[in-house]
Amino acid sequence: MEERNEQTVEETIEQQEEQVEEQASAEVSPLEEAINELQAKLTDTENRMLRLQADFDNYRRRVQLDKEAAEKYRAQSLVSDLLTALDSFERALKVEVKDESGSALLQGMEMVYRQMMEALQKEGVEAIESVGKPFDPYQHQAVMQIEDSEYEPNTVVEEFQKGYKLKDKVIRVSMVKVNQ
């Protein structure tokens, strides 16, 4: 019987130990859950912060590129407005003068034209060379075509209106006649 009592006591002790472990694990379990939940929130917050940092870096780069482009092409609208005046000057300079007063006027117009061209060149404006060059749809607009054996195929034969570039950007394409 003592043996039986010993087994019962041992079983009771084991049961009590199991109950204590269960209670301890039940108490630790909510803490572990809270820790796991906080770790998940921390990971999520870190990921969001990294994405926001990357978005901000991209935004800063875009703004810098936009600023550089705006600085580079700041004179574009002014140049575009002046091109019609340049065309008028060029047509006026082609007029034949018969008397001395007309000659003096023409000379004054040539000076003004040269000064305007120099000012535009300082800003990076240059005329597009067309005659004798291969046709380029990014720089030329073909308004006529001819067949002439003197010229290579797809070559600009005549320029009706000058084209202009501001730095590396075409502001106005040249209107040209092209050999087929």
CATH of residue 164 = 2.30.22.10
Considering the domain architecture, whether residues 136 and 158 belong to the same structural domain is answered as: yes
Considering the domain architecture, whether residues 90 and 137 belong to the same structural domain is answered as: yes
- Domain limits for position 59: 1-72
Considering the domain architecture, whether residues 66 and 132 belong to the same structural domain is answered as: no
Considering the domain architecture, whether residues 63 and 84 belong to the same structural domain is answered as: no
Question: Is the CB of residue 172 less than 8 Å from the CB of residue 164?
Answer: yes
Please count the structural domains in the chain: 2
Considering the domain architecture, whether residues 150 and 97 belong to the same structural domain is answered as: yes
pTM, whole model, 2 decimals? 0.63
Give residue 7's pLDDT: 63
User: Which of 35, 54, 72 is a domain's end point?
Assistant: 72
Considering the domain architecture, whether residues 142 and 164 belong to the same structural domain is answered as: yes
User: Which of 72, 95, 119 is a domain's end point?
Assistant: 72
Interval 50-63: pLDDT, tens: 999 999 999 999 99
Most confident of 47-56, 76-85, 95-104, 105-114: 47-56
Q: What average pLDDT does the chain have? A: 86
Half-sphere exposure (Cβ direction) of 11: Cα atoms closer than 13 Å: 6
Give residue 178's pLDDT: 93
Considering the domain architecture, whether residues 54 and 67 belong to the same structural domain is answered as: yes
Considering the domain architecture, whether residues 100 and 164 belong to the same structural domain is answered as: yes
Considering the domain architecture, whether residues 99 and 56 belong to the same structural domain is answered as: no
C-alpha span between 22 and 147 (Å, rounded): 100
Considering the domain architecture, whether residues 133 and 157 belong to the same structural domain is answered as: yes
Phi-psi region of 151 (alpha: psi -120 to 50; beta: other; left: phi over 0): beta
Considering the domain architecture, whether residues 54 and 118 belong to the same structural domain is answered as: no
